């Protein structure tokens, strides 16, 4: 499972201040090498990773500010620390959620294993051996004919 964040063309345009035609040009030039086209319904849409936007210099990796030619105010160390702490909090929350998911999956696997073992025991108890089948056939013949069927006796070899 990848933790990469992807954005569509409209969101990237909004974040960076670049127009759709400019972004499409950059996509065809390969300036966003990890971008890919996916489908939303039947409509093809671009999925552009955040790392490509940072690597291309379109946004700042910590603050998310754009680099579209607007003078950006310099980030103070407190701003960077706050942004990093917020990101760490989001990552911790994601990790906690993943741990809960893993725990739930482990419980589901344990329950499925118990069900499978129980089903196997039931199946084994319902399997008839050849001897039980022969006995059942003899009993059925007795009830049907009213007399015991003749059993084969072993003849001694002389």
Q: What is the spatial distance between Cα 34 and Cα 119, in angstroms, rounded to a whole number?
A: 48
Task: List the chain domain ranges.
Answer: 6-70, 76-145
Q: What is the pLDDT of residue 73?
A: 46
pLDDT in tens, 100-133: 999 999 999 999 999 999 998 888 877 777 888 8
| Six-digit token string for 105 | 């999956």
Confidence of residue 2 (pLDDT cuts 50, 70, 90): low
pLDDT in tens, 21-37: 888 888 888 888 889 98
Q: What is the CA radius of gyration of the chain?
A: 36
* φ, ψ (nearest 5 deg) of residue 126: -95, -10
Confidence of residue 58 (pLDDT cuts 50, 70, 90): confident
Asked if 49 and 34 count as a contact pair (C-beta separation under 8 A), the reply is yes
Give residues with Cβ within 8 angstroms of 148, minimum separation 6.
Answer: 138, 142
Q: Select the more confidently predicted residue: 40 or 73.
A: 40
Distances in Å between the Cα of 15 and the Cα atoms of 8, 65, 67 are 11, 8, 10
Give residues with Cβ within 8 angstroms of 27, minimum separation 6.
Answer: 35, 46, 48
pLDDT in tens, 59-114: 765 544 444 444 444 456 776 777 777 778 888 999 999 999 999 999 999 999 99
């Amino acid at each position: 499972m990848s933790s990469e964040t992807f954005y569509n063309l409209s969101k990237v345009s909004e974040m960076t201040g670049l127009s759709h035609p400019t972004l499409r040009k950059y996509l065809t030039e390969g300036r966003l090498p990890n971008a890919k086209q996916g489908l939303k319904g039947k409509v093809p849409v671009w999925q552009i990773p955040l790392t490509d936007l940072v690597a291309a210099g379109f946004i700042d990796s910590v603050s998310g500010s754009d680099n579209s030619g607007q003078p950006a105010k310099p980030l103070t160390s407190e701003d960077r620390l706050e942004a990093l702490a917020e990101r760490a909090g989001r990552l911790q929350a994601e990790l906690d959620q993943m741990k809960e998911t893993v725990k739930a999956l482990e419980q589901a696997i344990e329950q499925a294993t118990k069900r499978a073992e129980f089903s196997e025991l039931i199946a084994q108890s319902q399997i008839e051996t050849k001897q039980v089948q022969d006995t059942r056939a003899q009993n059925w013949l007795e009830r049907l004919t009213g007399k015991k069927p003749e059993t084969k006796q072993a003849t001694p070899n002389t």
